[in-house]
Every structure is written in C-alpha cells, then in structure tokens.
Amino acid sequence: MTLARRWRSALGLAVLLAAFVPLTCAPLAAAQAVPTPTSQPTARPPEPKQAYTLPPGELAKAVALSRISDILAIVGSLWGIAFLWLLLATRASSSVESWTQRIARRPWLQGLIFFALFLIAVFLAGLPLDVIGHLASRRYGISVQGWASWLGEEGKSLGLSLLVGAPLLLFFNWMVRRWPRRFWLCAWLITLPLMLLATFAEPLVIDPLFNKFEPLQKTDPALVQQLEKVVKRTGIDIPPSRMFLMKASTKTNGINAYVTGFGPSKRIVVWDTTINRIPDNEILFIFGHETGHYVLHHIAKGLTLAGAGLFFVYWGCAVFAGWLARRFGPRWGATGLASRTGFVVLLLTLSLAGFLLEPVSNAVSRHFEHQADIYGQEAIHGIVPNPQKTVVAAFNALGRAWLSNPHPNPFFQFWLGSHPSIQQRATFAEHYDPWKNGGHGKYFMH
C-alpha cells in the first residue's frame, strides 16, 4: 500500500528522462492487482482465517477496482511507448521539427518549441487514461476530489513539465549534439546531481503546489507527544520540525504517510485522513514504519541504486537508439540521434527501458518496505500492549481505506507492486514476534 510511497520517487527518477514520458495513472497507483481465479471443489476443507480480510461487499469492490487499476497501469505504460513510436512512424515528429526550423531562426528556440509541443502531445495522449483513473477512484469512494480541482492539478503538472521538462530535454538534446559518441556518459554524470536536486527540492517546491502542509506540532501537539515515545525508543533524533501534516481529506478517503526529501529537506509526512480514522496505537506503527525508511536511509540508498542502474540504462539505450536511428531513421525523418526527432527515438528507448525495469525497481522497493515494516513493528514493542495485533489491525484499516484486493494477481503484484501485498504484510506481522523465547529484534535489541 502507500505507506511512504513517496520515497520511491528516488527510484522513479531512475529513468529521469523517461520520467517526462510516463502515461501511467497515478490516482490509482495505490491499489493493486486482479483476483486469482479460484476453483471451487465441492468438499473443500475450511480455509485458515487470513490476516487481511474485507467484508463481502467491499471485497467485490476491491477486486473490481484492482482489475481496473492494474489494466490502467499496464495499458498506460504500453500506450506511452506506442505513442512515441506513433510520433515517429507517422512522421509527426519530423514534420514538427521542420516546422520549428521555418518559424524560428535560433536553434535553441526551435528546440524549446519542439520539446514544449512534444510534452503537450504526451500530456494529451495520457489524459483519457488519467480521466478514467480519476473516474474509477471517485466511483469507488477513494477520491473525493472534484473535477475542477483535479483538472487544475493536471494543468499545474503540465505547466511544471513545460517549465522544467522542456529546457531539460533541450539540454540533454544539446549533449547528444556536442558529444555524439559519449553523450550517454555525460548525460549520466549530469543526471546524478539532478536527481539529488530533484529529491531535495520536491518537498520544498513541488509538493506545496499540490497540497497544504503544516507542522504536525502545530496542528496536533498531542499526537506529536505520542510519537515522541517511538522517537525516544528508536534513539534517533527526528525533531518535530521534520514532522508534517498534509491536508489530504479534501481530496481522498485514503490513509497514508510517507518520507520524502533529502538532507536538510528530509521529513515525515502524515495525511490528516490517517489521524482521525485509526487508533493511536496503529498510527504509532505507521509512524514507526516511516521512521524505518528515515533511519535506514532508504531515499539515499534508492538514489544510489538508481544512479548505478542508470549508467547501464543510458548506455544500453544509446546503443539501441543508435541502431533504431540507422535502421528506421530515413523512414521516420530522423537525421541521426542528434536531431530533435532522433532525440525522440532516444526517449522511446528510455521509456521502453523504464517499463521493462519496473519489476526491478519495484522489487527493490518491496524489499525496503518489508524492512520498514519490521522496523515499525519492532519500534512499537514495549509501547503498545500487543504489536502483532496492532500491526495486523493497521494493515486491515489501510487495506479497507484503499480497497486493496486481499488476493492480488501474482503477475501484476510482481510487475507493479511497490509494496508487498497487504495480505503478505499482515500475515508477516501476525507471526512476527522476535522477542518470543528470549530473542531480540532485527533493529532493536531490547
């Protein structure tokens, strides 16, 4: 589920350029997977009670919603790739490139116009799927955000991508012109500091454009006092100035908390929907889980892994795009990779790599999430009477709030699951008690 799904933005940046091309549907990204078809033998032994269950009415909804969101996610990725290919194959890209050369004299201005139009086209191509995603999210009672507000946010995203994305694409395109053979290495070198900068700036510049944040200390001092118990037990200094409350209730019924930022901007954010909905003990676990991401340096580790992986991604994409440009360039009107249209060929290979590598980044993400679950459960040991019960209850509340499917389809879970399924997480928590028989935790000795 979406506890701390934001730290993943570090991994999401893995294919920085491809990040400007995603057509997946964010609103439903939280829910997962299609039900496994169950055969119904007549004399089946009773199933053991599962750790995460939903009442029948909600179960049917969760199954339907997960089917929609899985299909949207996969179709969105494939459509994103297909759309770039269409831009090339129909020669739309090369026509626009020639047009910019006719209307503007300076190459940088031609490039800026070209990439701005490119980003608008990509945005419009993805809009119908985004609309379906928001429709479904509203229909199933997850989102309560009105269409005007939703469209406003879409517009802001587009504005942001034009403001930052167009110059960035132009800059990377310039690198291909400047270093036709080694551009991928230069691009890689420049991507690393850009990733750091983006992660640092996200909570300070980007997030406030879309949501309201307040210091938790100001809005909920009683909760901060509770959380201090967990902070004290972890022995790690997370000052209250790094705890924020996000006003999510105007947009969603979902509950969530996450860790974001880097260095001085690193922080823990709790949605206001979480606070009034579930008992304090369960909030302590959620906070413990987030603390786990925080103290186990998952953002920094994610960035490091992404940076290392990107070296090979850029190299591979440069080789593959070079081949594509030689083989199909004349048909697509791409005169080498350094042209604007040639750069679209590069973006096509990057978005293909991004899609194919999704299971890899999600596997890393699931590993981090599992670590944070362990950390969170150990962190509340000795503070709440029965950590196993508390954590199982927290996952049930979380699953119910997001209508998470208790039996996600294994393939979609493998490909799209940034977190282990709620069922896996609740089942693990139910049986996790390292202190039993005089043992100790993985992260806590006492």
CA 188/CA 311 separation, integer angstroms: 6
- Cβ distance to Zn ion smaller for residue 130 or 202: 202
In contact, 80 and 23? CB cutoff 8 Å: yes
Q: Which stretch binds Zn ion (CB under 5 A): 75-83, 193-201, 315-323, 361-369?
A: 361-369
Q: Which is nearer to Zn ion, 4 or 28 (CB)?
A: 4
Place of tokens 């972890």: 234
- In terms of Cβ atoms closer than 10 Å to its own Cβ (0-12, 13-18, 19+), residue 385 is exposed
Closest of 209, 277, 286, 205 to residue 243, by C-alpha: 286
Q: Annotate each residue in 268-297 with x if it binds Zn ion (CB under 5 A) or - if it does not, as one string.
A: ------------------------------
The torsion of the CA quartet 248, 251, 254, 257, rounded to 10 degrees, works out to -20
- Please check whether residue 164 is in contact with residue 297, taking contact to mean a CB–CB distance below 8 angstroms: no
Piece in contact with Zn ion (CB under 5 A), picked from 4-12, 54-62, 203-211, 312-320 = 4-12
In 13-140, alpha helices (H): 56-89, 92-103, 107-139
DSSP bridge partners of 268: 243, 259
- The piece of 30-38, 157-165, 362-370, 404-412 that touches Zn ion (CB under 5 A) is 362-370
4: contact with Zn ion by CB under 5 A: yes
* Listed ranges 99-107, 246-254, 364-372, 431-439: which one lies at the site for Zn ion (CB under 5 A): 364-372
* Residue closer to Zn ion (CB basis): 140 or 294: 294
CB of 290 to Zn ion, least distance (A): 7
Among 66, 369, 395, 396, binds Zn ion (CB under 5 A): 369
Question: Comparing C-alpha atoms, which of 243, 344, 368, 222 is closest to residue 296?
Answer: 368
Minimal CA–CA distance to 5: which of 429, 442, 402? 402
Residue nearest to Zn ion (CB): 4
The helix, strand and coil proportions of the chain, stated in percent and rounded to the nearest 5, come to: 70, 5, 25
- Name the 3-class secondary structure at 439: coil
Shortest distance (Å) from residue 292 CB to Zn ion: 7
Q: Which stretch binds Zn ion (CB under 5 A): 18-26, 100-108, 300-308, 363-371?
A: 363-371
Q: How far is the CB of 374 from Zn ion (least distance, A)?
A: 11
* Site size toward Zn ion, by CB under 5 A: 4
User: Binding residue for Zn ion (CB under 5 A) from 1, 2, 3, 188?
Assistant: 3
What is the DSSP code string of 328-347? HHHHHT--STTSHHHHHHHH
Q: Which stretch binds Zn ion (CB under 5 A): 279-287, 366-374, 385-393, 432-440?
A: 366-374
- What is the C-alpha to C-alpha distance for residues 182 and 29, in angstroms, rounded to an integer? 36
Nearer to Zn ion, 111 or 288 (CB): 288
The contact pattern for Zn ion, residues 372-411, with x = CB under 5 A and - = no contact, is x---------------------------------------
Q: Which tokens sit at 362?
A: 């999600």
CB of 273 to Zn ion, least distance (A): 17
Residues 218-257 binding Zn ion (CB under 5 A) are none
145 vs 418 by CB, closer to Zn ion: 418
Chain residues binding Zn ion by CB under 5 A are 3-4, 369, 372
